[in-house]
Amino acid sequence: MNQIKENILAHIQIYQQNPLKVITLIVDILIVVFLAYHILKIFKESRALQLIKGIAFLIVATWLSDLLNLHILNYILSAVMNWGVILLIIIFQPEIRRALEQLGTNKYTQLFGMDKDIATKTKEDIYKVAIAATELAKSKTGALIVIERDIQIKDIISTGVELNSDVSPQLLVNIFVPNTPLHDGAVVISGNKIVAAACMLPLASDKDIAKELGTRHRAAIGISKESDSIAVVVSEETGKISVAKDGTLIADVREDVLKKILISNIVTKRFPEKEENHNNWLNNIAMFFKNLKNKQNNKEDN
């Protein structure tokens, strides 16, 4: 214990003499916590998590046996820990491989700006929704797709069947195939995910909509009035695509017009500041290299 106290005091003195090392220590701790959190997240709900608990127990037991001078137990546990690295590689082989594979996925590369940001991902999802709506319109398959914006509609989502799937045209088209379990009701897209299907929406009153329009259109207008969500409707009778936003219905839109409406209201209005900052950042980098080049040219001329 005296040795531990001496080591702690020595480190404190080092940090007092060089305050900049405190920043390095904080960064070091944050990185370790970040990595530990994501490793545990990968191992969650698998047999690996139980093994990690067992390894943690062995580490604590080894430390306690040394502290309490239990020499025989400490020798056995230390011998087990010495072979622990090899055992870990053998036991955790599938999990280690999966973790290394995930290092290259969007989830991690986004943190370093190496992959698509959320605005780009949202724009891609809009294109997928437009493709699905066009396919459904061709076959006159009724559909209702709600895209959540700033106001959350968890009460609506809770009325449906949870999916939590990536947005894809194939899945959206398949959901609305007639006489299938999920075709009746609305699909809700939130946070770049198809979070639920077969959701029940509030209906707009008779005075708010023309009599010739059906339940899907009333539901689309209803949800757009009660929240800032945007609803895409495909008519089962005519095969026409409509968009409901802010309590109004834009009827009979083409695929390109649908994309423009959704991008304007979902991407442009939600991420203008981010896109502007991104452009300013790129402009600043370009200006820096331009000034650097001008300085080099001036030196050569002198």
| Ranges 39-53, 126-140, 197-211: which has the least confidence | 39-53
One-letter amino acid at 56 equals: A
Q: What is the CA radius of gyration of the chain?
A: 29
Q: What is the mean pLDDT of the chain?
A: 79
Question: What span, in angstroms and rounded, lies between the C-alpha atoms of 145 and 258?
Answer: 13
The pLDDT value recorded for residue 166 is 93
Span between the terminal Cα atoms of the chain, in Å = 67
Specify the higher pLDDT residue, 95 or 144.
144
Query: Which residues are paired to 187 by β-bridges?
Result: 145
Q: What is the mean pLDDT of residues 172-199?
A: 94
Q: Sort residue 198 into left (φ over 0), alpha (ψ -120 to 50) or beta.
A: left
| Ranges 31-35, 88-92, 188-192: which has the least confidence | 88-92
| Ranges 85-89, 233-237, 238-242, 248-252: which has the least confidence | 85-89
The pLDDT value recorded for residue 230 is 96
The CATH architecture one would assign to domain 118-268 is: 3-Layer(aba) Sandwich (3.40)
Structure tokens at 65: 């046996």
